[in-house]
Amino acid sequence: MSGPSLRRRQLGAALRELRMARGITVLEAARQTSLSTPTVSRIENGVRRVRPVDVRVLLAAYGVDPAEAGRYLELAEEADRPGWWERAQPSVSQVGAYQLEMESTATELRSWHPELLPPLAQTDGYLRAVRAAALPGLSAEELDEAVRLGRLRREALSDNGVRLVSVVGEGALRRLVGGAREMRDQLDWLLVAGQQPEISIRVLPFHSGAHPSMESAFTLLGFDDVPGRSAVWLENDRVAQVVEHAEDVEHYAATFDLLSWSALSEADSARLIDTIAAGLR
């Protein structure tokens, strides 16, 4: 799945909602715009390259105010622009490209990681140790590429102004990944990052007990430019999956709210991180 497909799907879903809210059928939309019925359907399903001129005629048929039409046209223009990952690392897999585009188009990421720190908060040394342990067959060059991609992901997060709200299990802080120096550097990075207004890092302590997501890590993605659009990213070293069904997304959102309610405050989390880091000095 190539990068632009996510933008096409978001735009198509938004256009479908506009059409249905006005009680217009696909056949009626085609007649009013001189587009074919299959073309309207393919645009709404995100499987056809979207031309801004087609979006304009659809928006006009749906009576969308010109001031509101701008964000839909912007989506159409962005749909086929290559993402930063395609320019910087063309060898990224289709699944990886889809994940990276989701990150780059989201306005907020809410993540839960019980055993490992979230990928977008991993330092080079920590990430290298994680990848080497999870995939021992990787060559030195492949590890270097993984580290480079991780660094680019962190930079893109910062450049795009995406808000990262992360809850991590206490075990993720205490697990010695890569050695004392690497782990100390990682914890120090969390302390500095947590002071930025767009990053929130909170810890779910051991004493909080059992909870609904003991083993599963997940990331909730919010997209403000397309109201109502949200998704969940599930990932481990072997399997990656995106969940977009509304009821499933609501389940993960409720789970995240429960984890957040049980987690330490940002200030108490920072004190715990600092205490653990001090023990590694």
Q: What is the mean pLDDT of residues 247-251?
A: 93
Highest mean pLDDT among 15-29, 163-177, 221-235: 163-177
pLDDT tens-digit series, residues 114-123: 999 999 999 9
Task: Give whole-number Cα distances, 57 to 51, 62, 66, 78, 192, in Å.
Answer: 10, 9, 12, 18, 49
The least confident of 7-16, 69-78, 80-89, 110-119 is 80-89
Please, which pLDDT band fits residue 213 given cuts at 50, 70 and 90?
confident
Share of the chain above pLDDT 70, in %: 88
Instruction: Please say whether the beta carbons of 107 and 224 come within 8 A.
Output: yes
As a three-state string, the secondary structure of the chain is CCCCHHHHHHHHHHHHHHHHHCCCCHHHHHHHHCCCHHHHHHHHHCCCCCCHHHHHHHHHHCCCCHHHHHHHHHHHHHCCCCCHHHHHCCCCCHHHHHHHHHHHHCCEEEEEECCCCCHHHCCHHHHHHHHHHHCCCCCHHHHHHHHHHHHHHHHHHHHCCCEEEEEEEHHHHHCCCCCHHHHHHHHHHHHHHCCCCCEEEEEECHHHCCCCCCCCCEEEEECCCCCCCEEEEEECCCCEEEECCHHHHHHHHHHHHHHHHHCCCHHHHHHHHHHHHHCCC
- Architecture label for domain 5-78: Orthogonal Bundle (1.10)
What is the distance between the alpha carbons of residues 148 and 84, in angstroms, rounded to a whole number?
13
| pLDDT of 56 over the 50 cut | yes
Instruction: Please say whether the beta carbons of 102 and 6 come within 8 A.
Output: yes
Phi, psi dihedrals of residue 129, rounded to the nearest 5°: -65, -40
Instruction: Please say whether the beta carbons of 219 and 109 come within 8 A.
Output: yes
| pLDDT of 1 over the 50 cut | no
The least confident of 240-244, 246-250, 259-263 is 240-244
| pLDDT of 101 over the 80 cut | no
Q: Quickly name the fold that domain 84-278 has.
A: Endonuclease; Chain A (3.30.870)
Average pLDDT, the chain: 86
The whole-number pLDDT of residue 76 equals: 80
What is the distance between the alpha carbons of residues 24 and 29, in angstroms, rounded to a whole number?
6
Nearest to 72 by CA among 60, 56, 48: 56
The whole-number pLDDT of residue 212 equals: 84
Please, which pLDDT band fits residue 238 given cuts at 50, 70 and 90?
low
The whole-number pLDDT of residue 19 equals: 92
| pLDDT of 82 over the 80 cut | no
DSSP state of 210: -
pLDDT tens-digit series, residues 31-49: 999 989 989 888 888 777 7
Residues of each domain in the chain carrying CATH 1.10.260.40: 5-78
Q: What is the model's pTM?
A: 0.74
| pLDDT of 2 over the 60 cut | no
Residues of each domain in the chain carrying CATH 3.30.870: 84-278
Could you tell me which residue, 6 or 65, shows the higher pLDDT? 65
